[in-house]
Homo-oligomer: A and B are copies of this chain.
């Protein structure tokens, strides 16, 4: 049988478990132009939470009643597609399901065959060498553009995107300061990832600590969180500063059904002749090869390390999404759904 999580209703509170229903349905039949994919790994991302709302963020909202959308790595079980054979590893919108059909006529995003990276585990294709790492690359290179001697601040610094973004900033020669939600995460960010400093925003004196850690002000804000954290960072932006508006995690869990709302002091942006730029990795498929080449190079040079938090079992996907917003993961958050067959 095929376990799948269907969306029962749009979330109205910060916890989402009750908004999903785990159903057991028959494994679908493979038709012409289709392949049956067994999910191996499922990526849990902040954007999953946006997909649950009525906001169109590059992809339409997940319809109520349908299987929850999710990016993953799978293995082809049976194929009637010319580009895929049984046993192939593929990445794409596996969804929160044991099995899904790879069908470019139906899927909102394409599946594609992948090979295991030479210098990293398979799961890196969802992390530093996948949409997560590419997001960090595009934000830093296209919008943030930290220069040697400049200061870049990264919120959710121990998270999947933030940890990569900061290391790219270091590779570019910037002073890199993280913001994270615990002392332990901050230690990880400084000791393992090599950031110059990290601020625990749950410390009552975090604003003073941020000021001390950024004596020359802030040139780049790689923003993943929003809210008071963003406000404080924007307040310390230098003239000509750049805000990479990558995410606003602090907003998503209180998300109304139809739109996000978060105010930022745009007058500060004007006075500082600053820029705010946003982007969506899925809009930039043409840039993926360039990004992956750069990120692979960093890994080879020992300049990009990464961590994963693995949760076992598809049935724990809703719980994992909650945990992500509660800040319990370090690095990439993954659900292990099944073993790869070799």
Contact = CB atoms under 8 A, between A and B. Distances in A.
Interface of A: 50, 55-58, 226, 230, 245, 247-248, 251, 259-280, 283
Nearest to A263: B263
Query: Which 8 A-B residue pairs are closest in the complex by CB-CB distance?
Result: A263-B263, A260-B267, A264-B266, A276-B276, A262-B267, A270-B278, A275-B277, A245-B270
Nearest to A267: B260
A276 B280 contact: no
Contacts of A58: 273
Contacts of A261: 265, 267-268
A263 B260 contact: no
Contacts of A260: 265, 267-268, 270-271
A275 B247 CA distance: 14
Nearest to A50: B271
Contact of A273 (B259, B272, B280): B280
A259 B272 CA distance: 12
Contact of A245 (B55, B251, B269): B269
Contact of A264 (B55, B226, B264): B264
Given A245-B266, A245-B269, 19 more contacts: A50-B271, A55-B271, A58-B273, A248-B266, A248-B267, A259-B271, A260-B267, A260-B270, A261-B267, A261-B268, A262-B265, A263-B265, A264-B266, A266-B266, A269-B278, A272-B278, A275-B275, A275-B277, A276-B276
Contacts of A57: 271
5 contacts: A247-B270, A260-B270, A261-B265, A272-B278, A276-B277
A278 B259 CA distance: 26
B274 A275 contact: no
Contacts of A275: 275-278
B248 A270 contact: yes
Nearest to A264: B266
A37 to B, nearest CB: 29
A124 to B, nearest CB: 26
Contacts of A259: 267-268, 271
A251 B262 CA distance: 19
A278 B260 CA distance: 24
Contacts of A230: 266
A273 B267 contact: no
Nearest to A255: B267
A103 to B, nearest CB: 26
A152 B126 CA distance: 39
Contacts of A50: 271
Contact of A276 (B55, B226, B269): B269
A267 B251 contact: yes
Contact of A266 (B263, B271, B279, B280): B263
A169 to B, nearest CB: 20
